[in-house]
Amino acid sequence: MDTKNLVAIDVHTHAEVSSRIPDDPLWQAMQEASARYFKDEGSRPTIPEIAAYYRERKMACVIFPVDMESSTGLVRVPNEEVAEAAAENPDVLIPFASIDPAKGRMGAREARRLIEQFGVRGFKFHPSMQAFYPNDRSAYVLYEVIAEARLPAVFHTGHSGIGTGMPGGGGVRLKYSNPIYLDDVAVDFPDMPIIMAHPSFPWQDEALSVCLHKPQVYIDLSGWSPRYFPPQLIQYANTLLKHKVLFGSDYPLIAPDRWLTDFEQIAIRPEVRPLILKENAIKLLGLDASGQA
């Protein structure tokens, strides 16, 4: 990974299609609903296809599955598959894993194995899909492993496009993704960088406060077109949080091409743009000039 010649680093992309296991048919209805929400008509790429897509654009990306097996029964894309695909495409893919906190000590053992044997570089959590409050002590046994390795953890925050418009919201409860619960996690795990994913509607001010107050907390801008960013998010991204805001697309739900085009149209200062698009991610992920940790 030649970070000097990358245009950008996308810190939020999804591995939704496995080359090893068949699609879970239970996931189809939620995928169709999310496609309507995001106005996405594109095909769902495999992990090698994602690598090729970003390579063509001279970008790199953080890629992860979402493990919500205990709450939904949906089979996840294997963490090992993501990590091995990233090892085959180290110029563009940075592997994160996802482990449902409900897996407890077994999940913690998996996390340690993925770090030590597969070189994963961080972890992804989706409180609304996994049906847990981030500050629930039952999740701490998993955080302890991540913090020991000083790896970052991404937490979905705010509204969820997944389930939007489905009866009962597809069973997805928004309350779990209020970013204020991450304040406790940041206090209890100061060595674990936390990325609050997405503009945190309807709790944007809570997210800004936590990010401003806790040194290891960041915000990624994925899941929304920049045209719809709340004004206070743009204000803080330009000023007090300019070193703590990260480019993320939510690909394949939102294409980075669309995101970057819309990003050009909003009032981000010229000197801040490279920080958001690449430099902040390089620092957070511990990448040197060669892209190695």
Do the domain assignments include residue 245? yes
Do the domain assignments include residue 131? yes
Domain of residue 40 covers: 3-284
Q: Which residue has the tokens 């994602």?
A: 50
CA–CA dist 31, 86 (Å, integer): 24
Residue 119: which residues within 8 A CB-CB, separation 6 or more? 83, 87, 95
Which residues of the chain carry a pLDDT beneath 70?
Answer: 24, 26-42, 288-293
Do the domain assignments include residue 293? no
- 202 class by beta-carbon count within 10 Å (0-12 exposed, 13-18 middle, 19+ buried): exposed
Do the domain assignments include residue 290? no
Do the domain assignments include residue 187? yes
Q: Which of 272, 270, 261, 271 is nearest to 236 (CA)?
A: 272
Do the domain assignments include residue 93? yes
Helix (H, G, I), strand (E, B) or coil at 75: coil
Instruction: Report the domain count for the chain.
Output: 1
Do the domain assignments include residue 289? no
Q: What is the pTM of this model?
A: 0.92
Helix (H) or strand (E) holding 71: helix 69-72
What CATH number corresponds to the domain at position 124? 3.20.20.140
Residues 93 and 83 sit within 8 Å (Cβ to Cβ): no
CA–CA dist 20, 32 (Å, integer): 22
Do the domain assignments include residue 292? no
Tokens (6 digits) for 48: 């090698």
